[in-house]
Structure 1
């Protein structure tokens, strides 16, 4: 069994409201993609072991950066992954 992030694979989109100004935030992708130049090409489960979010590997969640275009607040949200066989 393996898991897929619906946002990374563009199966879904999500609307997250900025807690500061209440505008829609933009999804900037997985947190691990920002580690270094080669991170987007590394094994996802391997990066989950070192990204600092214990829930992503154990609970099948994908940490994504979201940013507000109005007030520039950024925040990480854990997105539920889909389990497949």
Structure 2
């Protein structure tokens, strides 16, 4: 069983905003924002809807990062 090191608190990433150089906030899995119940759904099933074509096959967790200074948003694929 693969686990995301960020979701499970095993690691932390610092992602710098490309616009203002502020450290962006990790807001968790991108699929948690699909609807009110998506955070409670099966993780592997939700990978079919995360926007990354190979996330299920390559064991990646797609995280949403947000910059509170300039409101820049981006997603990063994290290896599980």
TM-score, with length taken from structure 2:
0.93
Match of 1:62 in 2: 61
Q: Answer 1 or 2: higher relative contact order, Cα 8 Å, separation at least 6.
A: 1
- The corresponding residue for 2:72 is 73
Q: What is the alpha-carbon root mean square deviation over aligned residues?
A: 0.9
Tell me how far apart the structure 2 counterparts of residues 51 and 78 of structure 1 sit (CA, whole Å). 10
How far does the alpha carbon of each residue in 1:7-53 deviate from its partner, in whole angstroms, 9 at most, with x for none? Answer: 11111111001111111000001000011111111000011122221
Aligned to 2:23: 24
Q: Which deviates further from its counterpart, 49-58 or 69-78?
A: 49-58
Report Cα offsets for 1:55-77 as digits up to 9, x if no partner.
21111111000011111101011
Query: How many angstroms does 1:54 deviate by?
Result: 1.4
The residue correspondences of 1:44-63 to structure 2 (distance < 5 A) are 44-63=43-62
Number of equivalenced pairs: 80
Q: Which SS does the other structure have where 2:55 is aligned?
A: helix
Q: Distance in 2 between matches of 1:20 and 1:48?
A: 29
